[in-house]
């Protein structure tokens, strides 16, 4: 299929820290399957990252590390457009236009904003509030058909759809209305310490998450410390949320079904289960970890990828923005 016939995917990840097993299973792993069927745009969304305080040097480093992790996880830079959000000015420009069409009430309802604003009451900035509008701009600029994200992003995606429809009602045929794509079992990888919470790299307890860039021994230790329960039987049940999460992870990294895994551990304790589960996680991450370390030593190669990515992204984004500007009555520059 030529690129023109393929449907378009856009997704973004914040370079705001190390990537977790949750990001990998909930996002990147499914992208590697989609890259063959779709024309994909993947962005390191550094403009979203600055809605919370960042150290400039750390932000730069993490942006490069994220790119290396994308590629190490199997996102092929020859098949996909991988770029840094701030390199394509159209994101900020469309964000502004869409801000003027978004209701305060819509943004007030966003659960992620409510959560984040509770955490940083002293430093509430307007960017945090309008964050979902920038995300809508990211998506709509590329005439995106499908947005693969974790299910924590559903509400933001709904806003992108609403804005596309609202804009199209006024100015027909401007945007493709995007669909969300949520991988099933692993749509949400939970914390190893508090399985009712999602696994997040910003968790204050390091044992709660597994990082792609940590060493294997650390991963094994964290899994051994993972919270389970006192039932003592390997069941897949909502009453055993810790175990349920570990089974989901096990299933995702081995492609074995939940039923198979439960059957494998009939009559065995949590120790045996955790030992083999940890081994499976470590083995599945090993090639990714090796490739990541190798890529970080090859800065020129990474620079080439994000440079070409921005050039390609700009072409598609520019076309949409010119159309939007024309429709809303902005006079085009003549030079």
Residues of this chain that bind ligand TRP (CB under 6 A): 10-12, 14, 45, 48, 135, 138-139, 147, 149, 153, 156
314 binds, among ligand TRP, ligand AMP, none (CB under 5 to 8 A by kind): none
- Residue number with CB closer to ligand AMP (141 or 147): 147
Hey, which residues does 9 pair with through a beta bridge? 40, 146
- Range 19-38, binding ligand AMP (CB under 6 A): 22-23, 26-27
* Residue 92 or 272 with smaller CB distance to ligand TRP: 92
- Confirm or deny that 198 is annotated as ligand binding: yes
Q: How far is the CB of 9 from ligand AMP (least distance, A)?
A: 12
Q: In angstroms, what is the minimal distance from the CB of 23 to ligand AMP?
A: 4
324 has binding-site annotation: no
- Residue labelled with tokens 């900020």: 92
**Which one, 153 or 251, has the nearer CB to ligand AMP?**
153
Choices 70-78, 145-153, 159-167, 324-332; region in contact with ligand AMP by CB under 6 A: 145-153
Gyration radius from the chain CA atoms: 21
- What does the alpha-carbon distance between residue 315 and residue 24 come to, in Å, rounded to a whole number? 29
Q: How far is the CB of 49 from ligand AMP (least distance, A)?
A: 8
Dig out the tokens for 146 from the structure. 């499908």
152 annotated to bind ligand:
yes
Q: Which residues contact 236 (CB under 8 A, 6 or more apart)?
A: 243, 244, 247, 258, 261, 262
Sign of the alpha-carbon dihedral angle for 18, 24, 26, 27: positive
H-assigned helices in the chain: 21-23, 29-34, 46-49, 56-72, 90-99, 104-108, 111-119, 126-141, 154-170, 216-224, 241-254, 258-264, 270-296, 299-328
Catalytic residue, from 198, 222, 244, 274: name it.
Answer: 198
Q: Contact 72/288 with Cβ under 8 angstroms?
A: yes
Catalytic status, residue 116: yes
Task: Pick one of ligand AMP, ligand TRP, none as the site partner of residue 135 (Cβ within 5 to 8 A by kind).
Answer: ligand TRP
Residue 239, marked binder: no
55: annotated binding-site residue? no
39 vs 138, beta carbon nearer ligand TRP: 138
# of chain residues touching ligand AMP (CB under 6 A): 14
Return the SS3 of 66: helix
CB 219, min distance to ligand AMP, A: 15
- Is there a binding annotation on residue 138? yes
Grouping H, G, I as helix, E, B as strand and the rest as coil, residue 56 is helix
The encoded tokens of residue 271 equal 């120790």
Q: Catalytic annotation on 274?
A: no
Q: Are strands 81-84 and 179-181 parallel, antiparallel or unpaired?
A: unpaired
| Residue from 8, 9, 14, 97 in contact with ligand AMP (CB under 6 A) | 14
The answer to whether 152 and 308 are in contact (CB under 8 A) is no
Least CB distance from residue 106 to ligand TRP, whole Å? 16
Cβ-contact 10, 147 below 8 angstroms:
yes
Q: Is 201 annotated as a binding residue?
A: yes
Q: Which residue is nearest to ligand TRP (CB)?
A: 12
Q: Check residue 156 for interaction with ligand AMP (CB under 6 A).
A: no
Q: Which residues are catalytic?
A: 116, 198, 201
């Amino acid at each position: 299929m030529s690129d023109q016939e393929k449907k378009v995917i856009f997704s973004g990840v914040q370079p705001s820290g190390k990537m977790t097993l949750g990001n990998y299973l909930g996002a990147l792993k499914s992208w590697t399957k989609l890259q063959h069927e779709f024309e994909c745009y993947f962005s390191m969304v550094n403009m979203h990252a600055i809605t919370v305080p960042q150290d400039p040097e750390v932000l730069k480093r993490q942006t490069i590390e994220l790119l290396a992790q994308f590629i190490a996880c199997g996102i092929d830079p020859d098949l996909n457009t991988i770029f840094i959000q701030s390199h394509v000015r159209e994101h900020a420009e469309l964000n502004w236009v869409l801000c003027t069409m978004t209701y305060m009430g819509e943004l007030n309802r966003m659960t992620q904003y409510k959560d984040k604003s509770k955490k940083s009451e002293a430093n509430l900035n307007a960017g945090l509030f309008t964050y979902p509008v920038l995300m809508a701009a990211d998506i709509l600029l590329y005439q995106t058909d499908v947005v693969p994200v974790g299910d924590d992003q559903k509400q933001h995606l709904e806003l992108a759809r609403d804005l596309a429809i609202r804009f199209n009602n006024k100015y027909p045929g401007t945007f493709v209305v995007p669909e969300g794509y949520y991988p099933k079992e692993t749509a949400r990888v939970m914390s190893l310490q508090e399985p009712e919470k999602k696994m997040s790299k910003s968790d204050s307890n390091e044992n709660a998450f597994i990082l792609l860039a940590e060493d294997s021994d650390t991963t094994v230790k964290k899994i051994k410390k993972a919270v389970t329960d006192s039932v003592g039987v390997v069941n897949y049940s909502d009453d055993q949320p810790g175990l349920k999460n570990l089974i989901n992870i096990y299933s995702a990294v081995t492609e074995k079904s939940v039923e198979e895994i439960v059957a494998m551990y009939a009559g065995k304790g949590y120790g045996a289960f955790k030992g083999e589960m940890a081994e499976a996680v470590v083995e599945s991450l090993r090639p990714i970890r090796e490739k990541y370390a190798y890529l970080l030593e090859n800065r020129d190669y990474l620079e080439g990828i994000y440079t070409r990515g921005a050039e390609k992204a700009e072409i598609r984004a520019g076309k949409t923005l010119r159309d939007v500007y024309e429709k809303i009555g902005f006079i085009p520059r003549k030079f």
